[in-house]
Structure 1
Amino acid sequence: MSLLERLNQDMKQAMRNKDKETLTQIRLVKASIQNEAIKLGKDHLSEEEELTVLTRELKQRKDSLHEFKEAGREDLVEKLDREIEILQAYMPKQLSDEELEQIVQETITETGASSKQDMGKVMSAIMPKVKGKADGSKVNKLVMKHLS
């Protein structure tokens, strides 16, 4: 089942349950997916493109959450925590630290990287492997640790 189909089913369920928060988040993500499809001139997006849109939406909320925490806006922090929780349900299962560590080591070996100067080469090889399954900053820190 594609992400869009799952969103449609969950949207109907949220309407039945009168869950306004979930309904709002699903509608926002659906709109983002549809806007991306229009922007790319397609009828519908591939699963990978849908995942990219979902990841972008999640990242925006996490960035806002960080800003609100710094500003001491606890009311908005709670709201964003709930939004992130709703969107997280649509993301693929996240890789464990051990799995991520193994992928990083394998990629470094594959690319023949040996110093921090090879960082870009390693990151461009690893990100497609972990797309949607691991946070980019976490991957970056691990690669940096192994290359130093």
Structure 2
Amino acid sequence: MTTLKAKLQEDLTTAIKARDELRSSTLRLTLTAISKEEVAGTEARVLSDDEILKVIAKEAKKRREAAEAFAQGGRPEQAERETAEGEVLNAYLPKQLSDDELAAIVAEAVAEAKAGGAEGPRAMGAVMKIVNPKVAGLAEGGRVAAAVKQALAS
């Protein structure tokens, strides 16, 4: 078992003993998502810590989107719950890049892509190929794409 999955299970046990309903239900759902991912496909496998981080990031994104939907739908209690679950999951994710750090990485990648002959908005794909490995897990895809578009437009 990977160290991150073991930590999640330990934290779940602690949360259950402490009768922390929010934390325990969130960790249960996350461990279930990890288990589903492990048995998905043609063969069961054990996920690496990086793959588990991707599953946790996906679950956190679901919580953010659900919180927004509930807030727009006039259900603030449910939106609050989803936000709280997202915060529990964010504790397991690496610290996200700030807007300034992301802009610096994107600017560097744009310069590199332009040196390779890519120009204008059509260079988006080339720039994303350079940026994505550098920011994997540290910035959400939508934020990265927006930063690249903004850098290419200027």
Alignment-derived partner of residue 125 in structure 1 = 130
Determine the C-alpha separation between the residues in 2 that align with 1:76 and 1:90: 22
CA distance in 2, matches of 1:104, 1:2: 32
Residue in 2 that maps onto 1:5: 6
Larger Rg: 2
Unaligned runs of 5+ in 2: none
Aligned-pair CA distance for 1:139: 1.4
Structure 1 residue runs of 5 or longer lacking an equivalent are: none
Measured in 1, the distance between the counterparts of 2:22 and 2:67 equals 17
Alignment pair present for 1:63 and 2:68: no
Aligned residue for 1:16? 17
Are 1:146 and 2:146 an aligned pair?
Answer: no
CA offsets, 1:56-99, max 9 Å, x none?
11111111111111111111111111111111111111112222
**1:100 aligned residue (89, 92, 102):** 102
Equivalent pairs counted in the alignment come to 148
Structure 1 residue runs of 4 or more that deviate by more than 4 Å after TM superposition: none
69-78 or 34-43, which deviates more: 34-43
Which letter maps to 2:108?
E
Q: Provide the C-alpha distance between the structure 2 equivalents of 1:128 and 1:55, rounded to a whole number of angstroms.
A: 16
What's the TM-score once normalised by structure 2's chain length? Answer: 0.88
**Deviation of 1:111 (Å):** 2.4
Aligned-residue offset at 1:43: 3.0
Letter in 2 for 1:134: A
Quote the offset at 1:26 in angstroms.
0.6
C-alpha distance after superposition, 1:97-123 (max 9, x if no partner)? 222111111222222343111112222
**Structure 1: which amino acid aligns with 2:60?**
L
CA distance in 1, matches of 2:127, 2:50: 21
The alpha carbon displacement at 1:22 in A equals 0.4
Deviation of 1:128 (Å) = 2.6
Instruction: Give the aligned residue type for 1:12.
Output: T
Give the percent of matched residue pairs that are identical in Structure 1 and Structure 2. 35
